Amino acid sequence: MTQISAAARGNPAPVTQIDHARAGAVTAAMRIVAEKEGRDPEFIREGVAAGRIAIPANIRHASLSPEGVGGGLRTKVNVNLGISGDLACEAEEWKKVDVALELGAEAIMDLSNSGKTAAFRRALIEKSPAMIGTVPLYDAIGYLEKPLVGITAADFLDVVRAHAEDGVDFVTIHAGMNRRTIESFRETGRLTNIVSRGGSLIFAWMEATGNENPFYEFYDEMLAILHEHDVTISLGDAMRPGSTYDATDAGQIAELIEIGKLTRRAWDAGVQVMVEGPGHMALDEIAANMKLEKRLCHDAPFYVLGPLVCDIAPGYDHITAAIGGAVAASSGADFLCYVTPAEHLRLPDAADVREGLVATKIAAHAADIAKGVPGARDADNRMSDARRRVDWEGMFAEALDPVRAREYFESAPPSTEGTCTMCGQMCAMRTVNQIMDGLTVDLGKE
């Protein structure tokens, strides 16, 4: 049975952001988001009430600086990190956290999948002003100390509850992979089969037990847990394409149709929603896929991984993803998950995180300019003004990665003060500034 939100029941004490928004109340989180976005608070409230905007903000995440994800807002960027069984170095993960916060990632997903992960997750939530996401399924085996086939539906819900109680702001749940989705996948086939880690685990569990996806079968029970703590559900794309060959196929679209239905059920239960999307996808398919998601999922915020626009660039997949991410976000995606140079090759280190995050932030910013997001061009205009004035400190201040920019500039000191070694005394800005100031152009001896 579909649950009704607290606001819809007339409950005088709504719990979640969407409860409050539907009750006509502008929360503190909505006001913070409105200030960050240069929007009227009522614009934010209306978007949250309609489901077009999500503000993932667990009531237990005290250090959170709330962010809005959705229509009319800046494109947000997520960083994945977490402890791996092969490289279980918590110190390295904290370096990645520091890089993510330094460069302004709006979200961090802890994808730890080995051992007891609760201590790291709780410390991350305590420290991070960025919203925190997890995939509870990854944690299930270590948390429960059971083999996959021995885990029950109730066990899976217990892990979701534990993450919610810890203060996680959004959880990826692969609820759209039900028996209908799997039937489409089996009938049509794929070059790369199922590449989602969570999706493959659910598929394996369903095949081994003969049962329906527990997150689909007991969806309402799970929504009740999420509602209690105001955890946003990020509906995972278990059938995302892992190659450009598989993009926009029957499996992907069948799951997206199911996710659209699940989106409405979550909203009815007073739970905020984000929808996850592909994946790998040729450049000419991206815009249509963004529009399709918005249509089938009722304008819910869309969260995409890339998409990667070709399959042959291991070591450079942060570039293939940034190309796709810029097109995706300019065509309607609201949230980009970064991809690092280590994608498909190994667990990224802190240097990889920096490369991947900056590439994705460039994609997000480029899309915001294209979409006409309020204030998107302001920093670019300040940068251009600083370049005109040859104000290096001003340029560094506006740079997405001021550390990298300064390192490059200072690595090759120019002989002519105020210039760089690209043009030296022939610097166009310097020449025109001298003319505009009524000075004699001094090119010296080249």
Is residue 174 predicted with pLDDT exceeding 60? yes
Residue 360 within any structural domain of the chain: yes
Q: Tell me if 42 is assigned to some domain.
A: no
Q: Which residues of 209-221 are buried (b: 16+ CB within 10 A; e: fewer)?
A: eeeebbbbebbee
Amino acid 11: pLDDT: 55
- Averaged pLDDT, 25-48: 98
**Domain harbouring 318, CATH code:** 3.20.20.540
pLDDT value, residue 439 = 86
Indicate if 148 and 254 belong to the same structural domain.
yes
Question: What's the pLDDT at 446?
Answer: 45
Tell me if 227 is assigned to a ligand binding site: no
Q: Would the annotation count 280 as a binding residue?
A: yes
Q: Which of 190, 174, 334, 188 minimizes the C-alpha distance to 259?
A: 174
Q: Residue 119 pLDDT > 70, yes or no? A: yes
What distance in Å separates the CA atoms of residue 123 and residue 132, rounded to the nearest whole number?
11
Exposure string of 303-339, with b = 16+ CB inside 10 Å and e = fewer, is bbbbbbbbbebeeebbbbbbbbbbbbbbbbbbbbbbb
How remote is the C-alpha of 134 from its chain's centroid?
12
Q: Tell me, yes or no, whether 23 lies in a domain.
A: no
pLDDT in tens, 275-329: 999 999 999 999 999 999 999 999 999 999 999 999 999 999 999 999 999 999 9
Say if residue 423 carries a ligand binding annotation.
yes
243-255 pLDDT per residue, tens: 999 999 999 999 9
Task: Tell me if 299 is assigned to a ligand binding site.
Answer: no
Q: In terms of domains, do 330 and 190 share one?
A: yes
Residues 411 and 350 in one domain: no
Q: Which of 98, 92, 74, 83 is nearest to 134 (CA)?
A: 83
310 is in an annotated binding site: no
The answer to whether 238 is annotated as binding is yes
161 is in an annotated binding site: no
Spatial CB neighbours of 120, under 8 Å, sequence gap ≥ 6: 82, 83, 90, 93, 110, 112
Write down the pLDDT at residue 445.
53
Indicate if 394 and 343 belong to the same structural domain: no
Average pLDDT of 171-175? 98
On the question of pLDDT at 1 being above 70, the answer is: no
Residues 100 and 163 in one domain: yes
pLDDT surpasses 70 at 101 = yes
Give the global pTM: 0.94
Residue 62 lies in a domain: no
pLDDT by residue (tens digit) across 139-167?
A: 998 889 899 999 999 999 999 999 999 99
174 is in an annotated binding site: yes
- Judgement on whether residues 432 and 335 belong to the same structural domain of the protein: no
358 with 382, same domain: the answer is no
Q: Does residue 95 carry a pLDDT above 90?
A: yes
Q: What is the pLDDT of residues 406-420, one digit of tens each?
A: 999 999 999 988 899
Is the distance from CB of 159 to CB of 144 less than 8 angstroms?
Answer: yes
Of 344, 371, 398, which marks where a domain is finished?
371
Let me know if residue 320 belongs to a domain: yes
Same domain, 89 and 167: yes
- The answer to whether 258 is a known ligand-binding residue is no
Residues 322 and 403 in one domain: no
Does 143 show up as a binding residue in the annotation?
A: no
Question: Percentage of the chain surpassing pLDDT 70?
Answer: 97
**Token match 């996948």: residue?**
185
Q: How confident is the model at residue 444 (pLDDT cuts 50, 70, 90)?
A: low
**Does one domain contain both 245 and 394?**
no
- Read off the pLDDT of each residue in 64-92 and give the average, rounded to a whole number: 95
395 annotated among ligand-binding-site residues: no
pLDDT digits (tens, 9 = 90+) for 38-66: 999 999 999 999 999 999 999 999 999 99
Q: What is the mean pLDDT of the chain?
A: 95
> Does 53 map to a domain?
no
pLDDT given at position 224:
98
Say if CB 128 and CB 104 are below 8 A apart.
no
Rounded CA gap, 17 and 19, in Å?
5
pLDDT tens per residue across span 343-391:
999 999 999 999 999 999 999 999 999 999 999 999 999 999 999 999 9
* Sign of torsion over alpha carbons 115, 153, 155, 230: positive
What total of structural domains would you count in the chain?
2
Does residue 26 form part of some domain?
no
Write down which residue in 323, 356, 371 finishes a domain. Answer: 371
pLDDT for position 127: 97
The last residue of a domain, from among 339, 371, 403: 371
240 marked as binding residue: yes
**Domain carrying residue 282:** 74-371
